[in-house]
Amino acid sequence: MKKYITTPIYYVNDIPHIGHAYTTVAADVLSRFYRLKEEDVFFLTGTDEHGTKVAGAAESLGKSAKDFCDEISFEFVKEWKNLDIKYDRFIRTTDAGHIKCVKTVLKELYDRKQIYKGIYEGLYCTGCEKFLAESDLVEGVCPHHKKKPEKYSEENYFFKLSLYKDKLIKILSDKNDPDYMEVKPDERKNEIIGKLKLGLDDISISRSKVEWGVPLIFDESQTTYVWIDALINYISAIGCKSSSGFNKWWPADCHLMAKDILWFHAVIWPAVLMAIGISPPKKLFAHGFFTLNGQKMSKSLKNMIRPSELTGKFGVDATRYLLLSLFPFGIDGDISWDALTKKYNADLANNIGNLLARTIAMVEKYFDGKTPSPGGENKFSILDKIMEFDTYMKNLEFHLAINVVQSAADASNKYIEETAPWVLFKKNDPKLANVLYGLLESIGIITIHFQVFMPNASEKMWASLGAKKSLMTASEEFFDGKIDFLLPGSKISKSPPLFPRI
């Protein structure tokens, strides 16, 4: 089956911080999981480059908007490479193909009489790139950017969003609707439905004073509202409406984002799609925010942590792991260096690192560094511990998926204490071979599961087992129900500690 997985496309007004990395690592982990399950995956990420916010950032540095976008977009590409993100496409809204698709979609909306001209008057927050109602403000300022929105009045084109209110409520709540769009977590879906029930206004989808954008094909004096431009990336990236790529990949299987932009994805995006005869995405997942001392991490609050600060301290694999293991994916989580370090030491240095180091050291000492033969007795197994892994991954409950693997490592460490291989060795007990074989096999199974989170460290763990098959082949076989990757007699190898204690 195909799986089309996306992240939001990030504004290039600033270089990536760990909030951006959070969604992107999650999408990468999910994509790797489905690839491991031999699904056909298309993983899309990219940058959102038009609009007032980006143009303003370029201007303040005395750079042309395009040069500035090229520079910052490249920072995202570099950061994702550094974090081992394996996307299939990195889209930029300044790509010619994307611009063409935006024009096509807007023209079609216009031709289908879904657009009309009107006067917009209201409040606009450039930080959010969106209109705010008085009721959205907290003490007169935008709650996300802590800035007073600007008064705004101009002639714009409007999209008849209000026409879709009932249909949207239906596709959000009725599982039997052919266009059913799953929104997770449920509380967020319910918030959206509640808000929809209060009423839905048409929205302005163009700007007369913003030059850095895609001109409307039916009125070149206006450019496309940056959010409409941006949402269209999800179809422009696969070839736009009616192309073979579109036919293959659409509808998207999972749009990932944080809760701040769920309304755009759960209301505006499906309405635009339905207005041009395209089905909505199948699933949206809105995760929580990383906060620092209770505040959302963002440029305007100047409290960002950069991914390199984490990778510098913990390494790339552990950073990916820590981002997804600290909190449930759906809720906010306050980050602190102390909590990150504790989690790293407990899970990676102590539990996993220790299991590997002890097992390898014992095989070296008792079996001359060669994988022993399993022998006839019942072998140790962690399979019952790890059974729920798939379900948790499919539900994007990454921290629970991680927990079951940790509990398997925990059980393996306890098994070492219980069987006391050093005593078996002294007694020349033949059970020793079976115990160590079981432990090596457990490490292999733990590695098979952890590779989606920690691809490089997993390859290293795998290499030390001296297995007869590659990690990929063994994984495919494992998920088909076969465990056969160790080779009695083959040399295991000691590697420098993968997760040195901090």
The gap from C-alpha 273 to its chain's centroid, in whole angstroms, comes to: 23
Could you tell me which of 206, 204, 454 has the C-alpha nearest to residue 348?
454
Could you tell me which of 62, 101, 102, 74 has the C-alpha nearest to residue 16?
74
Looking at beta carbons only, is 22 or 415 nearer to ligand MSP?
A: 22
- For tokens 């600290």, name the residue: 326
Site string for ligand MSP, 310-349 (x = CB under 6 A): ----------------------------------------
Helices (H) then strands (E): counts for the chain: 22, 16
Provide, rounded to whole angstroms, the least separation between the CB of residue 7 and ligand MSP.
6
Provide, rounded to whole angstroms, the least separation between the CB of residue 258 and ligand MSP.
3
Looking at beta carbons only, is 23 or 114 nearer to ligand MSP?
A: 23
Site string for ligand MSP, 221-260 (x = CB under 6 A): ---------xx-x-----------------------xx-x
From the list 8-16, 204-212, 348-356, 369-377, the region that binds ligand MSP by CB under 6 A is: 8-16
Distances (CA, A) of 89 to 60, 100, 226, 246, 252: 30, 17, 21, 14, 14
Looking at beta carbons only, is 13 or 419 nearer to ligand MSP?
A: 13
- Looking only at residues 354 through 413 of this chain, which bind ligand MSP when binding is defined by CB under 6 A? none
Q: Where are the beta strands (DSSP E) in 290-340?
A: 290-292, 295-296, 333-334
Q: Dmax over Cα atoms in the chain, in whole Å?
A: 89
Provide, rounded to whole angstroms, the least separation between the CB of residue 205 and ligand MSP.
14
Are 143 and 289 a contacting pair, CB within 8 Å? no
* Token code pair at residue 77: 């590409």
Active site (annotated) includes residue 145: yes
Distances (CA, A) of 11 to 46, 57, 128, 375: 9, 11, 10, 59
Distances (CA, A) of 49 to 71, 73, 92, 422: 11, 8, 7, 62
From the list 4-12, 36-44, 402-410, 481-489, the region that binds ligand MSP by CB under 6 A is: 4-12
* Token code pair at residue 354: 């220790």
Looking at beta carbons only, is 12 or 416 nearer to ligand MSP?
A: 12
Provide, rounded to whole angstroms, the least separation between the CB of residue 456 and ligand MSP.
24
Which entry of 3, 69, 103, 128 is annotated as an active-site residue? 128
Are 119 and 154 a contacting pair, CB within 8 Å? yes
Active site (annotated) includes residue 103: no
From the list 17-25, 144-152, 316-324, 377-385, the region that binds ligand MSP by CB under 6 A is: 17-25
C-beta nearest to ligand MSP: residue? 19
Binding of residue 11 to ligand MSP (CB under 6 A): yes
Could you give the CA distance from residue 383 to residue 372 in angstroms, rounded to a whole number? Answer: 21
Active site (annotated) includes residue 399: no
Provide, rounded to whole angstroms, the least separation between the CB of residue 198 and ligand MSP.
23
Could you give the CA distance from residue 304 to residue 17 in angstroms, rounded to a whole number? Answer: 6
Active site (annotated) includes residue 299: yes
Binding of residue 30 to ligand MSP (CB under 6 A): no
From the list 18-26, 148-156, 425-433, 434-442, the region that binds ligand MSP by CB under 6 A is: 18-26
DSSP secondary structure of 188-218:
HHHHHHHHHHT----EE-EESS--SSPEETT
The residue within the footprint of ligand MSP, chosen from 50, 92, 241, 296 (CB under 6 A), is 296
Let me know the angle formed at the C-alpha of 489 by 485 and 490, rounded to the nearest 5 degrees: 60
Looking at beta carbons only, is 74 or 479 nearer to ligand MSP?
A: 74
Are 482 and 441 a contacting pair, CB within 8 Å? no
Binding of residue 289 to ligand MSP (CB under 6 A): yes
Provide, rounded to whole angstroms, the least separation between the CB of residue 463 and ligand MSP.
34
Catalytic positions, please?
17, 20, 125, 128, 142, 145, 296, 299
Q: Please give the residue ranges that form the binding site for ligand MSP (CB under 6 A).
A: 8-11, 19-20, 22-23, 48, 230-231, 233, 257-258, 260-261, 289-290, 296-297
